[in-house]
Amino acid sequence: MSTQPAMINRYRWYELIGIYAGILAFLTFILAPFVEGFLVSLKPLSQLFSSPYRFIPQNGSFEAYRTMWVSVPGFARYIFNSFFISTIVTTVVLILVVPAAYAFARFKFKGSGQLLGAFLAVNMFSGAVLLIPLFRLMRTFGVLNTYFAIIVPGVAFLIPSAIWLLRTYMMRIPRELDEAAFVDGASHFYTLRRVILPIAMPGITVVAITTFIGSYAQQFIYALTFNSKTEYAPLPVGLFAYFGRQEVIWNELMAASFVGIAPAMIVIFFLQRYLVSGLTAGAVKQ
């Protein structure tokens, strides 16, 4: 029975304590703002500035989750806009990136390396640097104050990282699968659709999730610059409505933040089931 490899006890007990302490510290650092944000959303406004500060709310309630809809009546629209914009951005990115990543992964053509490098270079520009040129471009095309103005820059900025991510994934799919399909008479498009796409599904899911999150988080700067109409404004802009002239309704702002990210969380939850690893098991003998 004692044929288990010695790998299992690679760490000594004090090393394990160190590792777990490190993980705990890191998680605390990441999660503490969320926990505090959630606790704030449960507190009445009067308790927020009490001294000494209470971390745990007294008589906490979900009252703010009800009143937030009253304070900012159009909040549902902001959530819809964010969700809608991110869905469109993700869909467009996937439609463009899947064939591009396949081409970069499989075909040798002149300048492919330079082109990939150029994509990476685009990502190095801060979005803020390009705001003014983009604004002029949008104005020229007459698309300011439309969904279009928020969607197009989102797609453009998210494509490069998506191509790199998916290309790397597709390069790991054995080339013999393409060759076998080619010998059997399949076109490149047929091979992509019937062979590569299903196998690349975990990679595509990762790209979809990162793009969706990226788009959700990125909308703020474009929405503020290229749009001044409430009907197209996404969630980050909507949250500003809780900043009054005299005060900020912190508990409702926090509640709205949590409600706002819920749709994104639900989408990610459903996409996650495609993240099955080891899908290529049995394709080729390694």
Partner 1 sequence: MGQLNLKKVQKYYGTFEVLKGIELEVRNGEFVVFVGPSGCGKSTLLRMIAGLDETSSGDIMIDGKRVNDLPPVKRGIAMVFQSYALYPHMSVFENIAFPLRVEKMAEEKLKAKVENAARILHLEQRLQQKPGLLSGGQRQRVAIGRAIVREPKIFLFDEPLSNLDAALRADMRIELAKLHKQLKATMIYVTHDQVEAMTMADRIVVLNAGEISQIGAPLELYHKPANMFVAGFIGNPRMNMLPVLCKAVGAGGVEVEYKGQFVTIPVGGRPDLVGQPLTLGVRPEHIHIGQSDLSMTVVPSVIERLGAHTVAYASLDGESENFCAMLPGSAAIRADETVPIGIAATDCHLFDASGIALERRVELTDIDMGLLKIGGA
Which sign does the torsion angle of CA 134, 207, 84, 262 carry? Answer: negative
280 binds partner 1 (CB under 8 A): yes
Which of 48, 180 has the CB closer to partner 1? 180
Q: Is 276 helix (H, G, I), strand (E, B) or coil?
A: coil
273 binds partner 1 (CB under 8 A): no
Which of 40, 199 has the CB closer to partner 1? 199
DSSP state of 241: G
183 binds partner 1 (CB under 8 A): yes
**Angle, alpha carbons 209-165-157 (nearest 5°):** 70
CA atoms within 13 A on the CB side of 274: 17
What residues between 142 and 161 interact with partner 1 by CB under 8 A? none
Contact 6, 14 (CB under 8 A): no
As measured in angstroms, the least distance from the Cβ of 273 to partner 1 is: 15
As measured in angstroms, the least distance from the Cβ of 189 to partner 1 is: 12
85 binds partner 1 (CB under 8 A): no
190 binds partner 1 (CB under 8 A): yes
- Pick the closest to residue 160 from 117, 109, 128, 129 (CA basis): 117
- The encoded tokens of residue 168 equal 């790397």
Residues 6+ apart with CB under 8 A from 60: 39, 42, 43
Which one among 198, 243, 262, 265 touches partner 1, defined by CB under 8 A? 198
Q: How far apart are CA 286 and CA 276, in angstroms?
A: 19
Which one among 28, 176, 229, 266 touches partner 1, defined by CB under 8 A? 176
Q: How far apart are CA 140 and CA 146, in angstroms?
A: 13
Q: How far apart are CA 111 and CA 131, in angstroms?
A: 29
Among 70-78, 98-106, 158-166, 194-202, which window interacts with partner 1 (CB under 8 A)?
194-202
Q: How far apart are CA 192 and CA 182, in angstroms?
A: 11
Among 55-63, 113-121, 175-183, 227-235, which window interacts with partner 1 (CB under 8 A)?
175-183
How big is the site for partner 1, counted in residues (CB under 8 A)? Answer: 23
Among 64-72, 122-130, 192-200, 236-244, which window interacts with partner 1 (CB under 8 A)?
192-200
Among 42-50, 98-106, 158-166, 187-195, which window interacts with partner 1 (CB under 8 A)?
187-195
Which one among 110, 245, 273, 285 touches partner 1, defined by CB under 8 A? 285
Query: Footprint of partner 1 on this chain (CB under 8 A)?
Result: 174, 176-177, 179-186, 190, 194-195, 198-199, 279-285
